[in-house]
Structure 1
Amino acid sequence: MQLSRNWLKEFVSVDADTRTFAEAMTLSGSKVEATEVLGHDIKNIVVGRIDSIVPHPDSDHMVICQMDVGQAELIQIVTGAPNVQVGDYVPTALDDSYLPGGVHITAGKLRGETSNGMLCSCKELGLTAEHDFPYTIEDGICILSADPDLADKLVCGTDIRTVMGLDDEVVEFEITPNRPDCLSVIGLAREAAVTFRKDLSLVTPEVEGCGGSVAEHLDIEIEDGELCPRYTARMVKNVKIAPSPLWMRKRLRASGVRPINNIVDITNYVMLEYGQPMHAFDFSCVEGGTIIVRNARDGETIETLDGTVRELTPSMLCICDENRPVCVAGVMGGANSEIVGDTAMVLFESANFNGPSVRRTAVALNMRTDASARYEKGLDPMNTMKAVERACQLVELLGCGEVIDGTMDVIAKDSWRTSLELQPARINNLLGTDVATADMIDILKPLGFTMDGETVTVPSWRSDVEHYSDLAEEVARFVGYNTIPATLMRGDTVQGGYTPVQLAENSLGNTCRALGYDEIITYSFISPSYYNKINLSADSALRQSITILNPLGEDTSIMRTTTLPSMLEILSRNFNYRNPNARLYELGRTYFAREDGLADEPKVLSLGAYGGMDFFTMKGAVDAVLADLRITTARYVAQKENPSYHPGRCADIFVGDVFVGTVGQIHPSVAANYDVDAELYCAELKFDVLYANQGAFPVYQPLPKFPAVTRDIAVLCDRTLPVGDLMDCIRDGSKGLLKNVALFDVYMGAGVAEDKKSVAFNLQLRSDDGNLTAAQADEDVKAILILLSERHGAVLR
């Protein structure tokens, strides 16, 4: 919201300079984003009157002007503009002057004749003839005396910024979504009045009228009161379309709105002043004289004021006549009822629409406007009457039409106000203050809150105030946050802490960092092309993906179903930045579409690395992660079908029969897709599955009382048999004495058949009941060897 300080003075007198004003407003809760002094880069340009014009002796198109610029003597300026005449008042840049953009003007000679400056056009002053000074031309000198608002007010030598409305200061506010009332000059004036302890001056609009009755011309129907709680309208006849007066054009321009014509400018002016969007219809285009507020029908279209034909859906609220839509409610009017030069009768609409409905329509049509930005935040339904009255008052003030008596005000849903108990003690406990009740009341009353004993009635424009804590916020804002002492909250407090899931996540993060892995955080939305880069079929992957309705671009148009592309993007970036090695991890979400339109959002722990890395090093990191969750039953199964991984260096990980993830080297063709010519290793672990299968927390066990017996065995088995399967078999074959099994040798070579390998294990055996005898140990080993032979054909070497 851009606020003109000159406009603000109409409602509250604040003498503070702009910097002080901005700081105070920010501290009271109205955050200032930026400030600007209009015309700050215009210097030494004044009003000049052309005293005489003679042709340039050495030019066919130039003339020599003698200019009265308020100095003791006339100055000579040469110009090539054809639209100047003796007696014209024009912007005159003197010697050593500056135009917008840092253009420096100095005295010089043009074809031998002295020119002590330059006559300026609107464009050279950063303005346009079409919108800012419509009484002059675009490609010529700006003739100030052509504007009827300036004709009798021009004085030679006056700073041009004062004359053209460039002496204003603009303050840009960032208005939060819960405060739509501050998207108006009056709303910000109310805030400024309380901030600076000044009186707020508001005047109720008054309209004289010209007789007749609006009911003779217009009828209004509202089909859904939830979507349109209130619709207020007045009508103006004998309309005279013309440019708005200069004072209005100045205020609109300072607020970032282009002046168009008097009727359109009035609707924009009221929107900025009151925060209530308005629309003006050419009533001759409203067929049947009836306004019907309804949802669009299947197949209906409308050409909006921007010249685009838009398809409407039944979920979109429209303003219609008897046959067709003439406006998309709360968003933009239709070209079929646009105000044009021969418009004779105007219907002013001031309505209240359901905020979420307006937002959905604006997003669906990809059409955000100043009106929709206000409506979607939820506006005050009580404001529609004041706004339409102000619009009609301006019509009479500008003399651009005759206001027909009467107002059509259809209230389809009763509005209500919130009442709260003040509770000063509770507010002070919450804030840690000792503000007196009377001081609280003195703060709340100027903001529009009314008091009835201890009951506070919230003004209709403050729908964000619903709880005593909201009243506490109002008190805190204007007492001053920087004056409130730092204290602990009074009363009982509940001790917080991490949830079990958060504790597990933190523990895994600590483990990864201890292993030398750095945490990364990547975007959850990716490009559909990422699936092709990791050798997955994009068509099949996209069937599970969720498409973003309003993406930032093609590269961020879907929600990821795998974290692998995100990890590879970061590894590739590090590799191309010539980092010799990288160890990265991320605990992030993936997203899968469900039939009910919602999404499953499982978390995935991703590990990625290159440089000094091989499959077993990455597997060791995975083992450490599993150990952190006390998972002791994990097994690795060779995986050759995963297209993203090397077929000979990849394994799926299972806990029991439950799949929990994949670890391995990234397929060389995938690495090449990421411009990496090194070996990349990654692991993808389903955190939610790991957490559900974590082991019990350790319980203290005393040291063993009896010594262990060790046995070494070497078995011959098929070369392709995984060692993990042999170890699982050894554990299953033991009769309860085996405490630990460890691999210490794999041999393939002389003395062993080509399709076989020798695998050696160290077995640690111990009894908890007494000293273990050699016979008992041999019996346990024998049982193990029998099961190895039966299950895998492995025999003692």
Structure 2
Amino acid sequence: MLVSYNWLKNYVDLGDITPEELAEKITKSGIEVESVEYFAEKSTNVVVGYVRSCEKHPNADKLNLCQVDVGEEILQIICGAPNIAEGQRVAVAKPGATLTGNVKIKKAKLRGVESNGMICSLQELGVDEKYIPTDVADGIFVFPEDAPIGESIVPLLNLDDAILELDILANRADAMSMLGVAYEVAAILDKEVHLPHETVDVLEDESTGDYISVEVQAPELNPYYGAFVIKDVEIKASPLWMRNYLMAAGVRPINNVVDITNYVLMEYGQPLHAFDYDRFSSDKIVVRRAADGETMITLDDQERVLSEERLVITNGKVPTALAGVMGGANTEVTEETTNVLLEAAFFDGGSVRKTVKATGLRSESSTRFEKGVDPNRVKKAGLRASYLLQKYANGKVLSGVVEFDELDKEEKMVTVETDRINERLGTNITPEEIAGILTRLNFAFEQDNNTFIVKVPTRRGDITIFEDMVEEIARIYGYDKLPYTLPEGASQAGGLTELQLLKRNVKQFMQSIGLSETLTYSLTNEENVNRLVSPDVSDLQPHPISLAMPMSEDHRYLRLSILPEMLQSISYNIARNQMDLAFFEMGSVFVSNEEGITKQPNEMLRLSAALTGLWLEQPWQQEKKQIDFYVVKGIVEGLFGYLDIPVTFEKAKINDMHPGRTAVIKLQDKTVGFIGQVHPGTAKELDLKETYVFDINLEEVFSNYENVPAYQDIPKYPSIARDIAFILDKDVQAGEVKQVIEEVGTPLVKRVQVFDVYEGDNIPEDKKSIAYSLLYQDPNKTLKDDEVEASYEKIVEAVKNKFHAYIRS
């Protein structure tokens, strides 16, 4: 909500308080003021001038030579605006003037002719182009005939106004109007509210009922509809002050009739709509639900296909407006309009919200209906607009209002007691202070000693119970006056849950070894939704989940893998010459077996990472190494070692992954993720260098985490190391052999590590050599050589039998 400081002065005496000070007070009372901006940059020495003559420049076809009366003197000014003409009153920057952007105006010669000043457009005076009326958008601004010659244009154009932008929450719909803000400010400053004029001089011999009738077929959606008829209106520009206030409120002026409906909308918070009565082509208004497939063309010249959920205003035959949202092009007020049918109605917020969602049409009117309007201000807004149409459009207002009225206008009663208020707030507010606050709020009440029966005005639909009144009293009393108190009773210190602690530990580990955390969209496109999905997810045969109303095609599907969007981030950085990258992300993927969603999908917590370029293994090392499979495998092993969870790796083939450099991660024979190099074809498609990734199911990993640390005695007896090298077929995996060694060597073999893989001289072409280091140890005694030898021979025999291997000599 944009609030004009100068406009607000019409309703509340602001005294000498500055806009910034007022903004601070409003924020402290509970409505946040997001910003204070001035309507235009300061201009000096710019006055109203009268164009006495306007002739063509003798040396330029597109320039005009004007003699302009600025009060004290007549200035010769050259102007190139297409709409400049004799007899106009215009904004003149005299020599020495300063305009927006610190532009200095000096005497000059244009095509050999002297020019003493500048005739200005609104843009040149610092007004934002989006607020400028279309009829003067491409030329200079022309003042009304009563503008005083020689006077400063600053007050005339409201250029010294300040705009307060209020962040209005859903419960404070009352503050979405100038009057609502006026009541708020009056309560804060303890001032009176000056209400606008609503009394209309009507034509006693002609009645609105002679011209129109109202039938409402859906009273649950439209409990009140009022119709006014104003004859013989004159379509012209609205008065300058009204145009100024509308522009300050972010509304572009159009003509006096449309401007008046918009002005009352901003003033009262009550949307109105003006129909061209003659184009309405009927003496009957029928408010009904639309028929399925029925169409209408709205004011934006778009054809809308309607359904029975839409509420429409009709002339008994065809729709003329979408109720509470937008009027129809067939009854639009134009330059030829002479008779106006004015609508003031109360529409159900839920119905308006559905129409907005279905059509994509959101307006100042629909926003207010959605949040709720004051039922006691609907008719008053119609009377206010009728008065303004009478005064500024020379209209003749017919007597009476034709209305359908089943609207509940009753004010709610809320009882509050002084003791209960002080108990809740921890204060010592007296009954006199409470009475003063209620008076400042313009709430009627009856007082019985310490008890108040408050009649809440309908403009404050957010106040219905005692707690609402406590909040209202507290904010006007002053939140900064509430005393500090410590909570009483038993309390418990906060802390992280085990899951939160595990997630934090994993994140700290990844950051400590040099990876940077990313946060990518949980939404992806159709091309990527099935890419790089871990086998433990794809085994669930999930169906990609599509959004009903996606922001774009790139964000249509809930992800099944974090990696595709992360690789997009890698590609983005590479394109900007960032080559050494190591990213990780902890987040959810969304798994559902349903083609049509009937319940929430299963959110599965994953840890994913992508690395490319060079890698610094240790902080104290200066030389980096190229990232390869073993770097990434080392990171994964380090993570599981940090969590003290044993895992194994098995070679695997996964779509979009390198067939020879990819493995699944196994935890107790269950797949919990994968690791490997992105397939070169996929990498080329994504503009990636050689890139390695991993993806881990953290939910499965965390379920195997033992939170109780196990104590082990420090070994008292020495260990024995033995090395062994096997000649194996090339397709045998080192991890498979390691697993056999660990199984057969139990319990004496405490650790098995691969330290060499060799192919080449003295090794058959279809073979390879893998060397292992074995560590033997018995916690209860010193091992003898024959015990170690027996275990060693047993291991050799087992490997020979299973893998057809032999010892490398």
Give the TM-score normalised by the residue count of structure 1.
0.83
The percentage of counterpart residues that share the same residue type is 33
Matches within 5 A, 1:221-236: 221-223=216-218, 225=220, 228=221, 230-236=223-229
Partner of 2:662: 650
- The question of 1:605 aligning with 2:607 is answered yes
C-alpha offsets along residues 554-612 of structure 1, whole Å, 9 cap, x if unaligned? 55554433211333234345545555634332112334565325444322211222313
**Which residue identity does 2:499 align to in structure 1?**
V
- Residue 213 of structure 2 corresponds to 218
Could you tell me whether the CA contact under 8 Å between 1:738 and 1:766 is conserved in 2?
yes
Decide whether aligned partners of structure 1 residues 30 and 706 sit closer, same or farther in structure 2, where only a CA change above 3 A counts.
same
Deviations 1:419-466 (A, max 9, x none): 666476676676665554543553354335555525556543444456
**Corresponding residue SS for 2:242:** helix
- Residues of 1 paired with 2:635 and 2:176: CA distance? 55
Q: Do the aligned residues in 2 keep the contact of 1:281 with 1:339 (CA within 8 Å)? A: yes
> Which residue identity lines up with residue 433 of structure 2 in the other structure?
D
Q: Secondary structure at the match of 1:682?
A: strand
**Equivalent residue of 1:156, what SS?**
coil
Matched, 1:635 2:648: yes
Aligned residue identity for 2:606: V
Q: Give the stretch that moved more between structures: 13-22 or 718-727.
A: 718-727
- 2:675 matches 1:663: yes
Deviation at 1:13, TM superposition (A): 0.6
Matched, 1:507 2:483: no
Match of 1:47 in 2: 48
Q: Which amino acid letter does the alignment assign opposite residue 234 of structure 1? A: A
Select the residue among 187, 192, 195 that pairs with 1:194. Answer: 187
Moved more, 525-534 or 608-617: 525-534
1:681 pairs with 2:664:
no
**CA RMSD of superposed structures (Å):** 4.4
Measure the CA separation in 2 of the matches of 1:497 and 1:428. 33
State the distance in 2 between where 1:361 and 1:273 align: 25
Letter in 2 for 1:694: Y
> 2:423 & 2:492 partners in 1: Cα distance?
16
Q: Summarize the alignment of residues 79-158 of structure 1 with structure 2, pairs less than 5 Å apart.
A: 89-99=89-99, 104-109=104-109, 114-119=114-119, 144=143, 147=144, 150-151=145-146, 154-158=147-151
One of 762, 774, 779 as aligned partner of 1:762: 774
Residues 505 and 224 of structure 1: is their aligned pair in 2 closer, same or farther, counting only changes over 3 Å?
farther
Query: 1:28, CA displacement in angstroms?
Result: 2.8
Q: Output the amino acid matched with 1:393.
A: Y
Q: Distance in 2 between matches of 1:466 and 1:727?
A: 73
The alignment of Structure 1 onto Structure 2 pairs a total of residues equal to: 776
Moved more, 658-667 or 88-97: 88-97
Distance 2:756 2:65 in 1: 103
Deviation at 1:288, TM superposition (A): 6.0
Any idea what the Cα deviations from partners look like across 1:3-48, whole Å, max 9, x if unmatched? 2223212210102122322333333333334434445443322233
1:740 and 2:730 correspond: no
Give 1:620's match in structure 2, choosing from 628, 631, 634.
634
Summarize deviations over 1:276-306 as a string: whole Å, max 9, x none: 2222233455566554444443322221101
Which residue does 1:179 correspond to in 2?
172
- Matched residue, 1:10: 10
Q: 1:122 to 1:774 in 2, by over 3 A?
A: closer
Aligned match for 1:719, one of 701, 705, 730: 730
Q: Which runs of 5+ in 1 are unaligned?
A: none
Q: Counterpart amino acid of 1:17?
A: T
Distance 1:54 1:213 in 2: 52
Give me the whole-angstrom Cα distance separating, in 2, the residues matched to 1:137 and 1:708.
94
- Partner of 1:373, secondary structure, is helix
Structure 2 equivalent of residue 170 of structure 1: 163
Query: Would the alpha carbon gap of residues 625 and 301 (structure 1) be closer, same or farther in structure 2, given more than 3 Å must change?
Result: farther
Paired residue secondary structure (2:676): strand
Amino acid at match of 2:735: G
Matches within 5 A, 1:286-685: 286=280, 289-343=283-337, 345-398=339-392, 399-411=394-406, 414=408, 422=416, 434-436=428-430, 438-449=432-443, 451=445, 453-454=451-452, 458-465=456-463, 470-471=468-469, 473-482=471-480, 484=482, 488-489=486-487, 493-528=491-526, 544-547=544-547, 549-551=549-551, 555-575=554-574, 578=577, 581-592=580-591, 594=594, 595-596=596-597, 598-610=600-612, 611=614, 612=625, 613-632=627-646, 634-643=647-656, 645-677=657-689, 679-685=690-696
User: Any idea what SS the aligned residue of 1:523 has?
Assistant: coil
Closer, same or farther in 2 for the Cα pair 1:321/1:543, shift >3 Å?
Answer: farther
Aligned-residue offset at 1:405: 0.8
Residue by residue, what CA displacement relative to the aligned partner does 1:592-651 show, whole Å, maximum 9, x if unpaired? 56532544432221122231332222112212322344422x2211123331x2222111
- Distance in structure 2 (CA, Å) of the matches to 1:666 and 1:512: 20
- The answer on whether the counterparts of 1:38 and 1:169 sit within 8 Å (CA) in structure 2 is yes
Of stretches 440-449 and 185-194 in structure 1, the one that deviates more from structure 2 is 440-449
Deviation track 1:157-194 (CA, whole Å, cap 9, x = no partner) reads 21133344445443333333432222210111122112
Shift of 1:409: 3.5
Amino acid at match of 2:324: G
Specify the code of the residue in structure 2 equivalent to 1:693.
N
User: d(CA) in 1 for partners of 2:508 and 2:698?
Assistant: 15
CA distance in 2, matches of 1:424, 1:670: 72
For the residues of structure 1 that align with 2:254 and 2:10, how far apart are their CA atoms?
Answer: 23
SS at 1:544 equivalent: coil
Deviation at 1:270, TM superposition (A): 1.3
SS of residue in 1 equivalent to 2:586: strand
Give the aligned residue type for 1:193.
Answer: A
Deviations 1:20-79 (A, max 9, x none): 2233333333333443444544332223345678998888998876554332x5555566
Does structure 1 conserve the Cα–Cα contact (< 8 Å) formed by 2:531 and 2:561? Answer: no
Query: Which letter maps to 2:654?
Result: E
SS of 1:662's equivalent in the other structure is strand
Shift of 1:469: 5.8
Superposed displacement of residue 202, structure 1: 2.8
In the alignment, structure 1 residue 278 sits paired with structure 2 residue 272: yes
Amino acid at match of 1:305: L
Residues in 2 aligned to 1:744 and 1:122: alpha-carbon distance in whole angstroms: 80
- Confirm or deny: 8 A CA contact 1:711 1:763 kept in the other structure: yes
Query: Are 2:216 and 2:404, in contact at CA under 8 Å, matched by a contact in 1?
Result: no
Q: Secondary structure at the match of 2:371?
A: coil
Q: Structure 2: which amino acid aligns with 1:43?
A: T
Further displaced range: 78-87 or 158-167: 78-87
Aligned to 2:618: none
- What residue identity is the alignment partner of 1:660? V
More moved, 308-317 vs 754-763: 754-763
Tell me, in whole angstroms, the C-alpha distance in 1 between the residues paired with 2:33 and 2:328: 35
Distance 1:788 1:489 in 2: 69
Q: How far is the alpha carbon of 1:506 from its aligned partner?
A: 0.9
Q: Give the secondary structure class of the aligned counterpart of 1:546.
A: coil
Change (3 A) 1:157 1:332: same
Separation in structure 2 between the aligned mates of residue 346 and residue 699 of structure 1, nearest angstrom: 86
Whole-Å separation in 1 of the counterparts to 2:665 and 2:378 = 65
Amino acid at match of 2:214: D
Task: Go from structure 1 to structure 2 and tell me whether the alpha carbon gap of 1:264 and 1:773 turns closer, same or farther (over 3 Å shift).
Answer: same
Q: Distance in 2 between matches of 1:696 and 1:624?
A: 18
SS of the residue corresponding to residue 362 of structure 2 reads: coil
Shift of 1:392: 2.8
SS at match of 1:376: helix
C-alpha deviation, 1:198, in angstroms? 1.6
Q: Which residue of 2 aligns with 1:257?
A: 251
Structure 2 contact 208–229 (Cα < 8 Å) conserved: no
Offset, 1:680: 2.2
Paired with 1:579 and 1:185, the residues of 2 have a C-alpha distance of 53
Distance 1:703 1:450 in 2: 82
Quote the residue 2:198 is aligned against.
205
